[in-house]
Amino acid sequence: MLKIVQIQFSGKSAGSSALRLQNGFSHSESVESQIISLYGAGEEVDGVFYLNAWARFKSWVNNKLSGKIYKYDHSKYGLYSYPLTGTDVSKLKMVQEADAIYIHWVQMGFFDFNSFSKLFQLKKRIFIVMHDMWFLTGGCHYAVDCVSYEDSCEKCPIFPNNSKIASSQHRVKGELIANYGKDLQFITPSLWLRDLGYKSSLLKNQSIHFVPNFFSSPHFKSGNQTEARKLLSIDSSKKVICFGAVNISSIYKGWRFLKEAFVHLHKYYSNDEVEVAIFGNGDLKEFEASINFKIHYLGYLEDEDKIALAYKCADVFVIPSILDNQPTTIVESMHCGVPVVGFNLCGIPEMIDHKKNGYIAEAYNSLDLADGIRFCLDHQLDVSLKEEYLPKSVLSAHLNLLN
């Protein structure tokens, strides 16, 4: 039996992908998986080893120092990470005994470059799962419209007065890959990110595999819409549009485009016809000021039953993201039988069959986004996931890589 160790910052948000993959591995007789995590997901989970308070303190120090040293416009560029301190997990017994190691999202003071180096020196099979662009850039998690990662990141728009910040990190990553690249394989849940990897100077000669994130949950399935609306106090006769994310105000999530789309929708639907369900963290006052339709703000949802309920009450789910790798919300929504409208950007169009299980809108076009919402509201679509995103297909892809 192959012994697998997965390493992940926490069990929340993108961290749940490691937990879900572990659940997938649990159904295989040939793999035994454990997770090393810096933070939990609110409760302890079997098969997860949580690091001690000292490791979490170093993470806290890293994030405090980074905030003081690397000052930039977060609202414009999103997240940038330059690890200053980290934790070496290479001496842990489970790591020493592992046949293969999956490295997921390990920024925010979990791993520094020494952490990577010590792990790579073990000469084990290592799969780096790219949940964003960090492994191929000088530190940004999404490069927005910058392509400096294709060279050396010396023209970083985030730090125009000190381009060496990004280029120095880019160089260190290049040295690690040059020294240990033959033992590394990269996994990306979208073809979009795989193609960016092959364009990058760091990963252009590496093995990059397209494998969607594993997702299997008994909570996300088609259900009784009327019952779901009754539980959420939503009128069963209304057309319901759903929008949600961990942080709905994030630059990546494209709220401004959805706001413009709602203006267009008012030309076709009255306030009595449409209601909006929103879940996630964000500035509720901004949404109330921008949407004339009645809003049901469901708050930040962690319980899968409640998240699934949010989808089941809807006629359409909208994801106006401008930077997203392989959005879990699309998978969740389609599992619940709800069509999805999103832009022709990043990994989003790979998941949607246009006018079959959703609508692919022209990139950055709020009017077409509104047209997509209208199409899904006015047509009965037969919603199902593409074959490659089904649990059986994803698990098979991982087992093929491991074997």
| Whether residue 171 sits in one domain with residue 247 | no
Half-sphere exposure of 26 (CA within 13 A, CB side): 12
Q: Pick the range with the lowest mean pLDDT from 77-81, 183-187, 287-291.
A: 287-291
Q: Which amino acid is at 289?
A: A
Q: Is the per-residue pLDDT at 227 higher than 70?
A: yes
- What's the pLDDT tens digit per position in 94-107? 999 999 999 999 99
| Whether residue 179 sits in one domain with residue 92 | yes
Q: Is the per-residue pLDDT at 360 higher than 70?
A: yes
Query: Does residue 57 belong to any structural domain of this protein?
Result: yes
> What local confidence, expressed as pLDDT, does residue 81 receive?
95
| Whether residue 237 sits in one domain with residue 200 | no
- What's the pLDDT tens digit per position in 368-393? 999 999 999 999 998 999 999 999 99
Task: State the average pLDDT over residues 153-168.
Answer: 92
Q: How far is 83 from 359, CA to CA, in rounded Å?
A: 39
Q: How far is 403 from 176, CA to CA, in rounded Å?
A: 25
| Whether residue 235 sits in one domain with residue 195 | no
Task: State the average pLDDT over residues 127-136.
Answer: 96
Range of the domain at 21: 2-210
* Count of domains observed in the chain: 2
Q: How far is CA 290 from CA 51, 235, 256, 262, in A?
A: 43, 21, 10, 8
| Whether residue 237 sits in one domain with residue 178 | no
> What local confidence, expressed as pLDDT, does residue 61 receive?
96
Does pTM surpass 0.85?
Answer: yes
Q: Which residues contact 14 (CB under 8 A, 6 or more apart)?
A: 104, 105, 131
> What local confidence, expressed as pLDDT, does residue 47 receive?
86
